Structure formats: structure tokens, C-alpha cells
Amino acid sequence: MSPVKIDYFGKESKIDKIGHFAVPYFSLTTYFKLEKMRISDKKINRITQNILDLIQSDKNVKVLADKLTLEAVIKSVIMADLKEEDLIEEEAKRLLDQHANIIAGGNMDYQSLLNKTKRQIARQKGFIL
């Protein structure tokens, strides 16, 4: 899906992935991180609508695309972010599986190690969890 161009405080910008568009009081990344992974289509649609409403109600933002296009791009961005987070979790699990014997014998909390590994992988990829 192509990015949607917007005019934000007189400066052209685009919405193409989470974190690349934020208004002073609202960050897409922050908003999505309030939701847990593996969310339903109904929740994704509600989040999409909330973001669309916020963008359209901000007098400093002029959307340079029609509403349906903007809605489709927002939903696409959400889905891409969730997919990337799933991929990071899978990679973290694979890394931990390689050291399962050490983890099992070392009195270590798997969930804590998984979260730390996910954060490290995300940081290396420049992805915000």
C-alpha cells in the first residue's frame, strides 16, 4: 500500500509506517502499544477509526487523500506493525530455544528472557515495541 501524503503544520509528510507520523498529543506507536498483540479485526477497525477521527479533527493536518484511502493505509500500517512484532517474537523464541538446556538448568524465567530478547531484537531492527 502506498503512503498517504498529509500536510502537517504546512510541511508535507506521509503516513507509511508506525512511528513515521505523530502529532504533538498523539503518537501512532504509543496508541498501538496500548493494545495487546493478536487483536481482533473488530478492534483493528475501531483503532483505525479512532486514528482517522483524530487526524481529521486536527486543524493542523490537511489530508491529501480521500477518506477511504487514508483508512486503508492506516489499517495497513497497523497490520504491518503487528506482523513485524510477531516476527520479532518468533525470532526471540528461536534464539531462546537454541539455549533451552541452559535456561532450564539455570533457574531463569522464560517469559522474562523472552521479553528481554524481543526488546533487544526490536532495538537492533529500529522497531519500537
Please list the pLDDT of the chain residue by residue as tens digits (129 residues): 555 555 555 556 555 554 444 333 333 444 444 344 467 888 889 989 998 888 888 888 888 888 888 888 888 888 888 888 889 999 999 999 898 877 777 777 888 899 999 999 999 998 887
What is residue 110's predicted lDDT score, i.e. its pLDDT?
84
For the chain, what is the domain count?
Answer: 1
What is residue 34's predicted lDDT score, i.e. its pLDDT?
39
- Distance (Å, whole) CA 65 – CA 84: 26
- Distance (Å, whole) CA 125 – CA 88: 9
Q: Which domain holds residue 116?
A: 4-125
Torsion of CA 40, 49, 29, 26, to 10 degrees: -150
What is residue 38's predicted lDDT score, i.e. its pLDDT?
66
